[in-house]
């Protein structure tokens, strides 16, 4: 795979299929791992960081799984490309912000990405579409096993995998689901549910992970505790909570559909018209309209809009993706214009077909 | 004092917020602190948390010198400031001070998940070696913990991977 292939392709997690993919956009597992013989990245010198990268390269090179994977050194990417990796959920902001001695390995269809020298030496991420935590965990576990054959991970029998931050120690596992909850937001129940989730040891974040706001009614829900339970239990616990959230969102959708049908149709059709006719639109505004249209498509109120097109738009209207498409740097206002044109083309095209 | 956000419940938490270089102190009730916690998660650093948890200038056993990792040179003070370990050996160096912290964060101090492959096959062997070493050094508290670990392992043959 080349960098060009990456930009033209769409990640597997956006294809909008898999179980409950109307509400659960994607499932993700992240494992934190460190190499025993080097200090953790923030405490290591340049030579040690380079040694981590070269040990990792020789390890993944021996794993069949990664034969077609793309290995990128963060320092060799321009700022637009780094931003695009963030928009695609392949690297963290931190990883792009301080690119020296950092790298990322990205598998075919962006299912697996491994950040090298982020907070931990390795951050293995597996990301798949739909409500698919079990399979996603199985794949992450398999990759971990493969890597473990060639790399000596920092581990203690007492507290498990040793991580840079004590909040990740043990399994080093963070499981999360990205859920789309427009009906719960509309009925003002989302806040109450987020609070309840917090009491169960889970964290809620926005569309782009840590420290980001929730746009377009997307929430990322993940486990907080990494020590004391097995990986299966952690994945199971999150799964159980997500299942309840799905039920609640479905109940709210049915209630609105039954009791406020006109109001719902009004919002949905207006959102569609706004997107068709807008001349300037910010990312936030666009995401909110797209969210309503996604709900309309899920409920069958809008026909002929497929979920993978909508999911793809969630990424392609982001600032760096737009600038890449235009082939130049754009000011915020120029971006809003290009974004509006791009989106309206997509929806007007849909009308003709 | 009443909570400065809802004005209904008693304030139990002092919340310090820095917005545009201005320090704001709020007295909050549990519920409002939790809500705030969700909003502020990003700005809350683990280092602040640690600093509030353990004694500064943690000394070695018996009031010895400052705790320091022999491998990477990180002191326990460094760890409290940064909130991150320096290397894998830091865990062993700071173990006694860390276990209460892990308990606070995770509600547990014992890994029960997947064992590292190379370790699990000879995990018992390693633990037994460590136990012998601990007994030789008369570190009985440590020895008792190791004995429990070995016992756990023997009682759960199905979990040996």
Q: pLDDT tens across A53-81, in order?
A: 999 999 999 998 899 999 999 999 999 99
Percent of residues, chain A, with pLDDT higher than 90: 81
Task: Identify which of A315, A302, A244, A317 has the alpha carbon closest to the alpha carbon of residue A272.
Answer: A302
In A, residues 196-215, which contact B (CB 8 Å cutoff)?
A: 198, 203-205, 210-211
How large is the average pLDDT for residues A276-304? 93
pLDDT at A107: 95
Checking if the pLDDT of B41 tops 50, the result is: no
Q: Which residues of B touch A203 (CB under 8 A)?
A: 41
A165/B83 Cβ within 8 A? yes
Task: Please list, in sequence order, all residues whose beta carbon lies within 8 angstroms of the beta carbon of residue A98, skipping any fewer than 6 positions away.
Answer: none
pTM: 0.81
Write down the residue that tokens 């570190």 correspond to. B139
Please say whether the beta carbons of B76 and B58 come within 8 A. yes
Residues of chain A neighbouring B119 (CB-CB closer than 8 A): 155, 157
Task: Identify the pLDDT of residue B20.
Answer: 45
pLDDT level of residue B161 (50, 70, 90 thresholds): very low
Q: Does A221 touch chain B (CB under 8 A)?
A: no
- Note the pLDDT of residue B159: 43
Kindly tell me the burial class for residue B74, based on how many C-beta atoms sit within 10 Å of its own C-beta (0-12, 13-18, 19 or more). Answer: buried
Is A228 in Cβ contact with B110 (below 8 Å)? yes
Per-residue pLDDT averaged across A243-272, rounded? 95
Torsions phi, psi of A156, nearest 5?
-130, 135
pLDDT above 50 for B137: yes
Of residues B131 and A77, more confidence is placed in A77
Find chain A residues with C-beta within 8 A of B85's C-beta: 40, 43, 162-166
Which chain A residue is nearest to residue B34, measuring alpha carbons?
A195
Q: In this predicted structure, what is the pLDDT of residue A8?
A: 87
B8 — contact with chain A (CB < 8 Å)?
Answer: no
Q: Report the mean per-residue pLDDT for chain A.
A: 93
Distance CA A101, CA A333 (A): 34
Mutate to test the interface with B, among A119, A138, A155 (most CBs of B within 10 A): A155
Tell me the two tokens of residue B7. 């004005």
Token pair, residue A144, equals 């971990």
Does residue A194 belong to the interface with chain B, where contact is any CB pair within 8 Å?
Answer: yes
Strand pairing report for A218-223 and B22-28: unpaired
Q: Confirm or reject contact between A58 and chain B (CB < 8 A).
A: no
CA distance A92 to chain B (A): 14
With an 8 Å Cβ cutoff, is B132 touching chain A?
no
Beta-carbon pairs below 8 A across chains A and B: 130
Cβ <8 Å between A225 and B88? no
A225–B87 CB contact, under 8 Å = no
Tens-digit pLDDT profile for residues A292-329: 999 999 999 998 888 888 999 999 999 999 999 999 99
pLDDT digit string (tens) for A145-154?
999 999 999 9
> What is the structure's pLDDT at B4?
77
> pLDDT tens-digit profile of A74-127?
999 999 999 999 999 999 999 999 999 999 999 989 999 999 999 999 999 999
Q: In chain B, which residue's Cα lies nearest the Cα of A141? A: B114
Residue from A137, A159, A168, A200 whose CB has the most chain B CBs within 10 Å, to mutate: A159
For residue B126, the chain A residue with the least C-alpha distance is A157
Least confident of A44-58, A210-224, B1-15, B82-96: B1-15
Phi/psi for A260 (5° steps) reads: -130, 45
Q: Give the span between the Cα atoms of B110 and B102, in whole angstroms.
A: 9
- The answer to whether B82 faces chain A, any CB pair under 8 Å, is yes
Pairwise CB contact (< 8 Å): B88 & A167: no
Note the pLDDT of residue A15: 85
Give the sign of the dihedral formed by CA A189, CA A195, CA A201, CA A206: positive
Q: Inter-chain contact A159–B109, Cβ cutoff 8 Å?
A: yes
Higher pLDDT pick, B145 / A148: A148
pLDDT at A41 over 90: yes
Which one of A141, A170, A196, A200 would you mutate to disrupt binding with B, by most B Cβ within 10 Å of its Cβ? Answer: A170
Reported as a single tens digit per residue, the pLDDT across B99-129 is 999 998 999 999 999 988 766 556 677 777 7
């Amino acid at each position: 795979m080349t960098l060009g292939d990456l930009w033209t392709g769409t990640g597997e997690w956006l294809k909008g299929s898999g179980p409950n993919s109307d509400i659960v956009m994607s499932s993700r597992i992240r494992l934190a791992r460190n190499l025993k013989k080097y200090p953790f990245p923030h405490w290591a010198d340049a030579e040690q960081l380079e040694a981590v990268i070269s040990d990792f390269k020789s390890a993944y090179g021996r794993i069949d799984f990664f034969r077609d994977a793309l290995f990128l050194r963060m320092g060799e990417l321009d700022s637009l490309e780094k931003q695009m990796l963030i928009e695609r959920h392949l690297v963290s902001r931190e990883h792009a912000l301080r690119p020296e001695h950092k790298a990322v390995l990205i598998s075919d269809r962006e299912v697996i990405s491994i950040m090298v020298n982020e907070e931990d030496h390795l951050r293995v991420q597996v990301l798949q579409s739909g409500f698919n935590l079990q399979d996603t965990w199985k794949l992450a576990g398999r990759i971990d096993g493969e890597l473990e054959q060639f790399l000596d991970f920092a581990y203690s029998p007492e507290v498990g995998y040793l991580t840079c931050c004590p909040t990740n120690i043990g399994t080093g596992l963070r499981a999360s689901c990205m859920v789309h909850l427009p009906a719960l937001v509309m009925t003002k129940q989302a806040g109450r549910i987020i609070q309840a989730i917090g009491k169960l040891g889970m964290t809620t974040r926005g569309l782009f992970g840590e420290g980001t706001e929730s746009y377009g009614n997307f929430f990322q829900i993940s486990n907080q505790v990494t020590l004391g339970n097995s990986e299966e239990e952690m994945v199971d616990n999150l799964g159980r909570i997500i299942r309840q959230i799905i039920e609640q969102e479905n109940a709210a959708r049915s209630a609105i559909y039954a009791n406020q049908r006109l109001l719902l149709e009004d919002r949905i059709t207006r959102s569609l018209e706004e997107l068709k006719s807008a001349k300037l639109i910010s990312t936030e505004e666009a995401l909110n309209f797209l969210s309503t249209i996604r709900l309309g498509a899920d409920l069958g109120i809008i026909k002929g809009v497929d979920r993978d097109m909508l999911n793809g738009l969630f990424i392609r209207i982001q600032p760096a993706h737009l600038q890449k498409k235009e082939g130049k740097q754009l000011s915020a206002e120029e971006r809003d214009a290009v974004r509006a044109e791009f989106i309206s083309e997509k929806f007007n095209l849909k009308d003709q077909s | 004092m009443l909570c400065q956000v809802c004005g209904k419940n008693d304030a139990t938490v002092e919340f310090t917020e820095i917005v545009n270089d201005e320090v704001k102190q709020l007295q909050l009730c549990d519920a409002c602190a939790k809500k705030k916690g969700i909003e502020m998660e990003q700005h809350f650093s683990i280092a602040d948390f640690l600093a509030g948890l353990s004694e500064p200038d943690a000394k070695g056993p018996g009031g010895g010198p400052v705790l320091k990792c022999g491998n990477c040179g990180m002191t326990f003070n460094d760890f409290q400031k940064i909130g991150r370990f320096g290397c894998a050996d830091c865990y062993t160096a700071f173990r006694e001070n860390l276990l209460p912290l892990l308990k606070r964060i995770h509600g547990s101090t014992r890994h029960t998940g997947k064992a590292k492959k190379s370790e699990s096959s000879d995990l018992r062997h390693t633990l037994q070696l460590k136990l012998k070493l601990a007994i030789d050094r008369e570190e009985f508290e440590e020895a008792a913990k190791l004995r429990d670990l070995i016992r756990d392992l023997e009682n759960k043959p199905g979990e040996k991977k």
